[in-house]
Structure 1
């Protein structure tokens, strides 16, 4: 079949060339249109469910929401684990599935939806679980809303206005963008209309809180009647009672040019709605209406007083988070002492949005559509934004893709140029170099075509790690064999086509076996599962397609080009370089053959010494891909309030902004309103995009030889920036635990481990107090381990609660129920929504809430009055007070609210406070009348697989991950006694699982190759000698990692896989040569010398193309090079040692047994 293909190609050269041109066109089209990712999503199917339970403590959330949901979702097909967090007002569950094509995100999501309809026990009223749109790599675009300012520098719109525009306009616009699953907003305030009752006025007028709430609920409705038929027309009958006519005031300002005028109209519309609320009639006394105006804080409006000053106000929902934003406006001197306001604008309160990509969708087309949507929205003709506002982008994944793509493209082009140069140097024939070089881009274009046709994405790891030595090897074999035979004038009487056909047929068997062996070498890449499988599977596919394309081209296009270009073949003598290499190689080989045992002993010592070096190599899961940003997290005391966290964030921004490498800073204090992030007020997250590295100032003095090569100064490395930043933040802001990462990396590691941090120690156990003690003990140990930094405990305890236990005995005395007390607390301290303000499509709560000064501390809250409506008041004889008859109210008191008026019998009823109906509780929740109302409680409750745990997060800097965690494990191994246990999680866990899988996948791959070799040679001795080449190249790979200080990682392991394939392929061809010459009758020594010398040039070409093809990737320090760098270092180092060692060891080993009769077919793959 293969030989027919070769013959057909030589018979139809024009067709082959046209097909090659067609492949080039299709390949370029595919290359331009195929989706490119920074790296693929390494997370399995993860479905996150969130449930808001406003006002509930962490313990209540766990008991009433989290546990029932965990029980409901348990046992779903393919479910690996369930992580949950319970905190104030929020339950968050992350369900992680096993890796595999059968467990896609869509199937997992559908399983969750099915289970949500069968929750094991009823959830509290108003709690509705929902699936979060969050994805570890889905945050592809971020922006803030830019707000215009007036002449005094004040923002013309309120945060209520901006947040409403984001939630009700922009979110809907971005959800319509293809491939976008959702958007999440952070910052700003959600408008709420608050009615603030005055308890004294309510009491004097005989109005209860329930009456006021009922009035608000019943006076803001619209109902429909039926049809009436006046004449021939059908008309509907409607009763409109909605405040403001349910019209959206924003519609009145759209299209205005003046933002100040627009804001004035909005404020006037708010006052109009407030007046309508104040004018509502609650009751009537002696035919005189009692309005909301009469019973709210401050009473009726005095002349000149604005309606929204007090009593009925436009407020906002309780803030759970806040956004700060700083962006550089101009260049500033390095480490400038100027305030950040002088070099940029710093704003304490902004509204930001994150656009989320649907899991599995293509990033580049989505980003293109998002940018088009932003341009459309910012265009004044769009007409949906408030006048003067616009979207300001501060993160676009396109920038990262472009930078890393440029880096990879530069490495590829440099590698191709070096490969062509090497080919010309060794072959000394420009035609030969061109023929081989043509196959490199065509093979890559074939791979891109296959990826595009199959709907797969290319990623920068799969592209940047392509080894040209592997791709070009088949063409090198074909061209070198044709060139050598033509130079030797073999078959001179035959036509050129027949001669080339014979030369190619000589090696077709060897080519097929070589490619088959390379495919087996890449079995570990195809067999990988887990995060490493997600990362390297596209690379394996790219290699497979490239090898397949290169083989087809080597058997079709390469012979055709040789036939066309070698018609006037003039053999060129070996150039000086090849002759010099052969001369030096010959005398060294003869020396080794003269002392074979000594050579073997030396090689054994070298291999053994290298094996002893392996334990000294550092270990990590994957090298960290440079994303061009810093993701910083600062954790403070758990009982910290939002204002304190915002103040800390402002100080931290001032410190970070002084670094000239920083482009902008976005701080997230607390969490968003929708619960898509599960942080408390104690947490501050900082997104710090950096400038391009080429723009970083050169601040570090150079010394020694580096000064002469790179100049007197250099730019700081990112690690140096982080170290300096960390030291300064810890010095200025003590008590805050900092953690440095990157945006995508942080999201991925959190998704895989369930903890925000690169690595963590999870301590499982039932008792919170004991968990805290163990965590404190472990933290002290971890801080003493070299290389472990930023150690922090995700505390469970630490939240502060004011807990008022409703005392049933006290309530019985006054006829008050628990529901009455709870209603007062939820309305007075919280804000109980009674109705909704309808503004077009927007809805905002109308709530009752006590004025702030009446609910600021324990004393004021205990003084809140409670209505007594089920108690019959019997007045003493002669009191002079006559209760009013049913339905006849007493005349109202003066508007001034004088307390001297006693005409209302309700005013004679004892004043019952909240403090009269509640009692403190003790440790076991029994009533403790003399105890405090203050109680410490849980802030966040972490669970995994139904078990509580506490986490100690940490980073590793200045040391490899494996040795640092191994030392920490040794120091903490005796800490835990049943029922408590410690589990190491995060990147270390992924590394251990990946290494465990590689420990059996790689030997399995080598076993398959061993079987193939034996099938080809029918000799265990030949197979074992060929396999010795694996140890030779491994020596080079290990030493290259050690000398460059590169940690062993999955990327490095893939480099060894590639190296083993090349080494075995080279060994196969060399031993096959020896056998072929022995079959011809040459003595062992002569066969070894002649065969080795003939292989000098092909081996040098293959090795040097492999080395120089990946050398740019091995030495690159630019963004996008980090992931493929260990792989490239291993291949470059291993192939370099190949030139020095395996060309001597295999001939020496063959000399021990080569005198025996070669097995049948043992030389069939020589060329």
Structure 2
């Protein structure tokens, strides 16, 4: 039943939407000290959200984790444009209040930044095109998010150029407190004055530093050390550190090269991008657990039931567990073809606030804390408690497992499929692969299905013997069918319900070969002949089930890893298997193939799709920016923000120990639009100041260019601080939330928070330096450079 999970997830996101709305109002009031100005943003936000809901209703899109998540992560950017317009209107009223009619000032302020903001929001909307191209499971999961975020941004773009100017005209009235008299703004300007002076004077140092920072984040240090360090032979990544590991020896022709290995590994940890792991999706904590041990084939129903009852009793002893229920074999449905050796126990947990405190122990058994267990710690404790010989444990989530098994049939994060014509050969290859994979570091469990592991009772009827007694094959088979399968005798009526009454031998009798041989078969002459005289009764091994894909038989290996991301683990395991095939440890005849499945298959498909679509989307964004700026140089400057913002995104992902997943890539894709808005708006302010200086005839020396840049950059401090505060404070509730659905939304929000930090530095420090270098080249032929030590102009 998914209803409880869905209700918890929707409630979590509804709370975050309310928190973010309050944050928007608070930021506007603090920076503008004008309550009625904050009302403009406060009114625009729910109207835009309401428009999104109306479109969702018309489209038939339900309110779920992802659709509401799209609105949650869009709120900061939705009010971004409105905040800039409000702040620009304040500047006009502060500067020219009383000199022009009120509505004329509002109109001028809106026209000044409105078109640029509309193009910026259009870019943000277009930036989600790659998400719409995702297929299958990842497409079904993230398309609702992309739809709602697109609807929200489109609504915000429309309202920012239609309703917002009208609301500003009515609400932004009265006395406007000058920016420099607001204590918060005065503090920001006090900090920014020496920064902008340093940036313009040391512009080349600033640009060089920015370039080094970008290169540092993306430099593939481990690859350079592995493949380009002199004297290395078959050097493989070290198993130390996150995202590393592997089988094989690391050798060197020169002893001094080996002495550098520890230092190279330490330095490699300082490069965040190469240390990020990869996975298909972050774990979505459903509030319940699924325990899926696998036994060896051929287990009897009696023994399987005993194991199920024993494990259920042990799991129920944990105080965090509300109740458990288990299942052996397949259910009465075509979508659950589980064999008898597959046990499924669904563990319904209590609400986390009701979990008692417990002793937390380290690997050595020493108590290190006394608190509530995390879901991961609880799973580890349960796994330790249900260790039985012959059981290969696997732990996952109920809904996630059902989706995965319906899609690929693999119940563990990693699956290996061996394809070939002969079942016995498939079992041999699968067993060899299983043995190799178990030696790979971080492997928690690896279990190969025994394709020939079923035990069957085989009856071979002796046709000559039955002919002597006047019997037919059908007559003997009818006796076996009644004795073993049962025969309906009658029907009992219990009220409105009817139940069939079947007759057959008891289980103990059916499982005893000697007892089966003593089954008597009546002859036409009235004699009773034991079955042992008419047929041979033996136990034979045969397939318990035959799996196939593309009409080719398969053998599957279920692999679970711990303490490492899926992408890195599969690379390690794949390398180990390939080496074993090359060495002959795994004998892979012609016509047999090894495929890697599970979450890795999803991840690979999504990455391949995004590698094609993302560059095309960037080209569309470039075209939109060019249509707005009408300058290739400005377009290139704007797009420089993309790699710089990724610096903050990758650093925060690395520090929070998040892996690259589809959810993270969705967050990174959203950065492209936000970066375009950042660059376009900053260039607008710098250009306005530059054109103002030229129109007034004040652009006579390069020092005047410095003054113009200073003037334009300072005007951007307050709106940038407001938008950054709204985005960070709006996304922080998602980052610290722990409810259902929060894990996925954290991965989307985290890159956006890291991006805000570095984009603020880019916009307020790097952009002015780039703008000065660009414009100064045009002016150098007309004006001489200022003398060393000259002032940058009066402030």
TM-score normalised by structure 1 residue count? 0.58
- Which of these residues, 376, 396, 407, is aligned with residue 752 of structure 1? 407
Matched, 1:742 2:349: no
Q: Partners in 2 of 1:1121 and 1:774 — Cα distance?
A: 41
- Which of these residues, 1123, 1144, 1150, is aligned with residue 744 of structure 2? 1123
Matched, 1:1093 2:748: no
3-state secondary structure, aligned to 2:298? coil
3-state secondary structure, aligned to 1:1089? helix
Within 5 Å, which residues of 2 pair with 1:63-102? none
Check conservation: 1:1028, 1:1146, Cα contact below 8 A: no
Distance 1:449 1:1157, change over 3 A: farther
Distance 1:581 1:651, change over 3 A: same
- Which of these residues, 360, 371, 383, is aligned with residue 714 of structure 1? 371
Within 5 Å, which residues of 2 pair with 1:637-716? 637-673=296-332, 677-700=336-359, 713-716=370-373
Task: Please name the residue that 2:73 is paired with.
Answer: 466
Task: Please name the residue that 1:296 is paired with.
Answer: none
Check conservation: 2:67, 2:145, Cα contact below 8 A: yes
Distance 1:572 1:593, change over 3 A: closer
Matched, 1:512 2:118: yes
Task: Please name the residue that 1:430 is paired with.
Answer: 35
1:781: Cα distance to partner?
Answer: 2.2
- Which of these residues, 138, 141, 151, is aligned with residue 545 of structure 1? 151
Matched, 1:728 2:381: no
| More moved, 632-641 vs 592-601 | 592-601
Task: Please name the residue that 2:9 is paired with.
Answer: 404
Check conservation: 2:116, 2:628, Cα contact below 8 A: no
Task: Please name the residue that 1:964 is paired with.
Answer: 569
1:855: Cα distance to partner?
Answer: 4.5
Matched, 1:792 2:413: no
Matched, 1:1078 2:690: yes
Task: Please name the residue that 1:607 is paired with.
Answer: 214
1:864: Cα distance to partner?
Answer: 2.1
- Which of these residues, 598, 604, 625, is aligned with residue 992 of structure 1? 604
Check conservation: 1:737, 1:792, Cα contact below 8 A: yes
Task: Please name the residue that 2:674 is paired with.
Answer: 1062
Structure 2 segments unaligned to the other structure (5+ residues) = 220-271, 363-367, 780-795
Matched, 1:1141 2:762: yes
Check conservation: 2:326, 2:344, Cα contact below 8 A: yes
1:595: Cα distance to partner?
Answer: 2.4
Matched, 1:478 2:85: yes
Q: Partners in 1 of 2:505 and 2:312 — Cα distance?
A: 36
1:675: Cα distance to partner?
Answer: 5.4
Q: Partners in 2 of 1:526 and 1:860 — Cα distance?
A: 64
Q: Partners in 2 of 1:1115 and 1:715 — Cα distance?
A: 18
Distance 1:702 1:1157, change over 3 A: farther
Distance 1:535 1:484, change over 3 A: same
- Which of these residues, 558, 563, 566, is aligned with residue 164 of structure 2? 558
Task: Please name the residue that 1:531 is paired with.
Answer: 137
Q: Partners in 2 of 1:1127 and 1:674 — Cα distance?
A: 37
Q: Partners in 2 of 1:431 and 1:414 — Cα distance?
A: 20
Distance 1:846 1:403, change over 3 A: closer
1:1016: Cα distance to partner?
Answer: 2.3
Structure with the higher helix share, 1 or 2: 2
Check conservation: 2:84, 2:719, Cα contact below 8 A: yes
Q: Partners in 2 of 1:566 and 1:852 — Cα distance?
A: 85
1:836: Cα distance to partner?
Answer: 5.3
Look at both structures and tell me which one has the larger radius of gyration over its CA atoms.
1
Q: Partners in 1 of 2:497 and 2:171 — Cα distance?
A: 75
Distance 1:824 1:578, change over 3 A: same
1:456: Cα distance to partner?
Answer: 1.4
Task: Please name the residue that 1:581 is paired with.
Answer: 188
Q: Partners in 2 of 1:1091 and 1:674 — Cα distance?
A: 68
3-state secondary structure, aligned to 2:390? coil
Q: Partners in 1 of 2:122 and 2:331 — Cα distance?
A: 54
| More moved, 628-637 vs 585-594 | 585-594
Q: Partners in 1 of 2:510 and 2:56 — Cα distance?
A: 63
Task: Please name the residue that 1:1030 is paired with.
Answer: 642
Q: Partners in 2 of 1:863 and 1:656 — Cα distance?
A: 43
1:662: Cα distance to partner?
Answer: 0.7
Matched, 1:1154 2:775: yes
Check conservation: 2:293, 2:344, Cα contact below 8 A: yes
Check conservation: 1:1030, 1:1063, Cα contact below 8 A: yes
Q: Partners in 1 of 2:509 and 2:569 — Cα distance?
A: 54
Check conservation: 1:864, 1:914, Cα contact below 8 A: yes
Within 5 Å, which residues of 2 pair with 1:110-149? 140=1
- Which of these residues, 101, 106, 117, is aligned with residue 500 of structure 1? 106
Give deviations 1:178-202, integer Å, cap 9, x for gaps: xxxxxxxxxxxxxxxxxxxxxxxxx
- Which of these residues, 519, 529, 547, is aligned with residue 912 of structure 1? 529
Structure 1 segments unaligned to the other structure (5+ residues) = 1-139, 141-396, 704-710, 870-905, 921-932, 1159-1167
Distance 1:851 1:1089, change over 3 A: closer
Check conservation: 1:789, 1:956, Cα contact below 8 A: yes
- Which of these residues, 769, 777, 789, is aligned with residue 424 of structure 2? 769
Distance 1:674 1:745, change over 3 A: closer
3-state secondary structure, aligned to 1:630? strand
3-state secondary structure, aligned to 2:85? helix
Task: Please name the residue that 1:1103 is paired with.
Answer: 724
Check conservation: 1:698, 1:713, Cα contact below 8 A: yes
Structure with the higher strand share, 1 or 2: 1
Give deviations 1:900-956, integer Å, cap 9, x for gaps: xxxxxx56x6x5332222247xxxxxxxxxxxx221111121111211111111223
3-state secondary structure, aligned to 2:73? coil
Q: Partners in 1 of 2:115 and 2:507 — Cα distance?
A: 87
Q: Partners in 1 of 2:577 and 2:603 — Cα distance?
A: 20
3-state secondary structure, aligned to 2:282? coil
3-state secondary structure, aligned to 1:789? strand
1:570: Cα distance to partner?
Answer: 3.4
Distance 1:630 1:853, change over 3 A: closer
Check conservation: 1:415, 1:1108, Cα contact below 8 A: yes
Check conservation: 1:702, 1:714, Cα contact below 8 A: no
1:854: Cα distance to partner?
Answer: 6.0
Task: Please name the residue that 1:275 is paired with.
Answer: none
Q: Partners in 2 of 1:741 and 1:1058 — Cα distance?
A: 30
Q: Partners in 2 of 1:500 and 1:949 — Cα distance?
A: 70
Q: Partners in 2 of 1:528 and 1:415 — Cα distance?
A: 29
Within 5 Å, which residues of 2 pair with 1:784-823? 784-823=439-478
3-state secondary structure, aligned to 2:740? coil
Q: Partners in 1 of 2:121 and 2:332 — Cα distance?
A: 57
Distance 1:997 1:821, change over 3 A: same
Distance 1:487 1:845, change over 3 A: same
Check conservation: 2:678, 2:763, Cα contact below 8 A: no
1:1092: Cα distance to partner?
Answer: 1.1
